[in-house]
Amino acid sequence: MAYTLSTDLAGLYEEFLAAERNRVSEQGYKTLEATTRALMHYLEANELNPLELGIGEAMAYMAELGEATSESGRAYATGTIHNRLKAARKFFGYLVQTERRKTNPFEEVEYPRMEQYLSRNVLTEAQMGRLLGDVGRFDESEDMRSRQRSYRVHVLSEFLYATGLRIDEASRVREKDVDLEQRLVHVKKGKGGLPRTAFLNGYAAQVLERYVRVGRAAVLRRGMDEERLFCACTRELMALLMRELRSRCTALELPVITSHGFRHSLGTHLLRSGCDMRHIQVILGHEALSTTQIYTKVDKEDLKKSLDAFHPRRWNPRSPQGPQGGDDERC
C-alpha cells in the first residue's frame, strides 16, 4: 500500500537511508528501504515521535509485528519480524550516532527465536554433476543467441558453485576484482556491507580465464553493463539464471534449485567430503561458526537414512511379521 510520510519523518527516513547506502549490499539496501518505511508508517499511524520513543513503545511495535498478517492473510514469518526489528534497531542507532537521542530503545528488545533449518534448495554431488554437465553443453543450443545465453549460465553456475557467493555478490564482481593467478575473488561489499575474499577451485578458474579472455566479449551486447564481470545487475542475472535452471532441472528430472542452491550445495558437499568446519565458514563468508554448523544436520539426516536402509531390522510393509532380518529375540 502506498502512503506519504510527513515532512519530518520523510526527512529522517531519507537521511538514514543515504547514510546506509554504501554500507549494505544492493539487495540489503532494498530490504532496509522497505522495512524502514514500514517502521515510519507505524510511527506516523500511532503518532509516535522517534526522538521520544521509549522501551514500552518499542515492545509494542514488536507485539504488533507478532500479530500482523500479510496481504495473503498469513502471519509474518519469524524472519520477516527479525528484518523489521533489525531495521528499527539500526534506525534508532543512527539517531543515537547523530546525537538526536541518548539511547536506542530497540537494543533492549529481544528478537523472537528463529529456528534454524537446512534448506531443501540443495542437490546431491551426483545431481550437481549432471546439472553442470548439461549446462556445460552450451554449444549444442540451436541458435547463436541461445548459445550465448547458455554460455553465460555455464560460466556463472561454475562460478557460484566454486565460490559460494550469493547472486547479489556475484553480480557486482568486476573483472579487476578477480585474481585468476591466485584464484581469488575480492568482494567489495558482501552481506552486511562487509568486504571479503572468495576462492575459485582449479576448474572454475580455467572456465573463468577463458571467459575473461575471449568469451565475455563474444556475449557482450549493447545495453549490457560492461563494468560488471557478468554484464548484468542482480535482478537481470537472477532472471537469466532462474529461467535456465528451471528448464534444465525439469528436463533432467532434478529438484529445481535457485541461485542460492549452488551456495547451499557447496557447503553441504564440502562437509560431506570432510572439509574442516572453519574452512567452510571462511569459504562461505559466514561471520559466525554457528551459521555454518547448520550443515552438520545433513550428516545426521544421511545417517538416519543409512540406518533405515542397511539395518537388518528394517520394516517390510508386505510382510505379516512386519520387520525384516533376524529372529525377533527378546533381551
Active site residue 82: no
Q: What angle do CA 133, 135, 141 make, to 5 degrees?
A: 120
Q: Is 304 an annotated catalytic residue? A: no
For residues 191 and 218, state if they share a domain: yes
| 157 and 68, same domain (yes or no) | no
- Does 170 map to a domain? yes
- Show which of 51, 74, 108 is a domain's final residue: 108
- Pair 85, 149 in one domain: no
Does residue 178 sit in the same domain as residue 87? no
In a domain, 18, yes or no: yes
Based on the fold, state whether residues 151 and 293 are members of the same structural domain: yes
Burial class (CB in 10 A: 0-12, 13-18, 19+), 208: buried
119: left (phi over 0), alpha (psi -120 to 50) or beta: beta
pLDDT for 234 equals 87
**Per-residue pLDDT at 268:** 87
Q: Is residue 322 part of a domain?
A: no
Q: Are residues 271 and 175 in the same domain?
A: yes
Residue 206 burial (C-beta neighbours within 10 Å; 0-12, 13-18, 19+): middle
What pLDDT shows up at residue 2? 47
Residue with cell 534454524: 116
Contact 155, 206 (CB under 8 A): no
DSSP string, 242-280: HHHHHHHHHHTT-PPP-THHHHHHHHHHHHHTT--HHHH
Q: Which of 135, 159, 129, 160 is nearest to 147 (CA)?
A: 135
Residues 238 and 147 in one domain: yes
Closest listed residue to residue 200, CA positions, set 185, 222, 216, 220: 185
The pLDDT, as a whole number, for residue 118 is 54
**Catalytic status, residue 186:** no
Judge whether 79 lies within some domain.
yes
Q: Which of 191, 235, 272, 297 is catalytic?
A: 191
The reply to whether 222 belongs to the active site is: no
From residue 176, give the alpha-carbon distance in Å to each of 24, 168, 188. Answer: 21, 17, 11
Instruction: Tell me, yes or no, whether 205 and 158 share the same domain.
Output: yes
Residues 205, 255: one domain?
A: yes
> Residue 168: which domain range?
125-304
| Residue 196 known to be catalytic | no
Tens of pLDDT along 186-222?
998 877 777 889 999 999 999 999 999 999 988 888 7
Catalytic residue among 41, 101, 186, 260: 260
Cβ-contact 122, 295 below 8 angstroms: no
Query: Could you give the dihedral angle defined by the CA atoms of residues 188, 190, 195 and 198, in that order, rounded to the nearest 10 degrees?
Result: -90
The answer to whether residue 320 sits within a structural domain is no
- At 299 the pLDDT is 57
Residues 68 and 103 in one domain: yes
Q: Give the residues of the chain that fall short of pLDDT 50.
A: 1-2, 326-331
**264 among known catalytic residues:** no
Answer left, alpha or beta for residue 244, where phi above 0 means left and psi between -120 and 50 means alpha: alpha
Q: Which of these is catalytic: 84, 90, 152, 166?
A: 166
CATH number for the domain spanning 20: value is 1.10.150.130
321 within some domain? no
Which residue in 183, 263, 264, 269 is the catalytic one?
263
Please tell me the predicted confidence (pLDDT) of residue 319: 56
